[in-house]
Amino acid sequence: MTRGSSTARAAGIVTLVVAGLLGSAYVLGRSLVPDQKPTHSTGLSTSADGPHYADQPSAGKPGGAPSASAGPVVTGQDGSGPVATGQDGSGQDAAGDKLFGAHATTGSPRLALTFDDGPDPRYTPQVLALLREYDVHATFCLVGENAQNHPDLVQAIVDDGHTVCNHSWQHDVRLGARSADAIRSDLLRTNAAIRAAAPNAPIVWYRQPGGAWTYPVVSVARQLGMTPLHWSVDPSDWDLPGATKITATVLDQAEPGSVVLLHDAGGDRQGTVDALRRILPELTARFELEALPTDPT
């Protein structure tokens, strides 16, 4: 064998060894990097049961997309999505208010039950029947398209002495990130649907879907004569934890002035209805319950 052929053979062996080492390094490196899963925005989804609005964050952690004036976007610690932040990125405005001025309590010793996303022909009548049984008045935060589709239920809510609240046209969590004109159009459209069903019903409260408060949505709501409404007790009934857990959370966290967040639409709400049947006897024994006033100012 010549010297040249020996050199070529040695070079070939070295090349194979290097290639093998590089391949091993690549496989090792890939094994150390977790798979990247695509992220999806939280919003309206549909199923055989109809629309679902499962995007409510925990109380005190309003989620959603901020407007340009609301500061940068950061992700919540629970990975639930972006939260609206202040100019300093702290998740609050300059005055330290994470809710941008939205009311989270009744401002009195009385407790308020609130029901979101309805009306729904399956669950709203059950909720109304239970409230009637215990002589309790509550506040119903109505989605505009549902009010348009079920005007008889809107009228039933008003006839029973409950307060109605604007909850946007289609439960758009990112509504607060849109232009003031788009926000105003959405809220006016919702008010029109409610008033078409119940012409004499005062609409003086507005609840932002997902609690995703921003400066623009609060400002527009106030310009239209509506007071922004948040909550202080959230049993996450939208996440279907079951009647037992919903009951325990509400009864453990309720205190004078609490605003309790519950849902009578947006998915399977039988667990909420069953929990309400357990909650009402104790709440009525411990507190005076009220529908939020129609003259909050």
Q: How many helices (H) and strands (E) does the chain have?
A: 8, 10
**263, β-bridge pairs:** 116
Active site residues: 116, 263
Contacts of 73 (CB under 8 A, 6+ apart): 65, 66, 82, 83, 85
Q: Which residues contact 152 (CB under 8 A, 6 or more apart)?
A: 197
Contact 208, 172 (CB under 8 A): no
Q: Within 13 A of 26's CA, how many CA atoms are on the CB side? A: 6
Q: By the 8 A CB rule, do 146 and 118 touch?
A: yes
Alpha-carbon distances, residue 284 vs 66, 205, 231, 259 (angstroms)? 38, 24, 19, 14
CB 44 within 8 A of CB 53: yes
284 exposure class (CB count in 10 Å sphere: 0-12, 13-18, 19+): middle
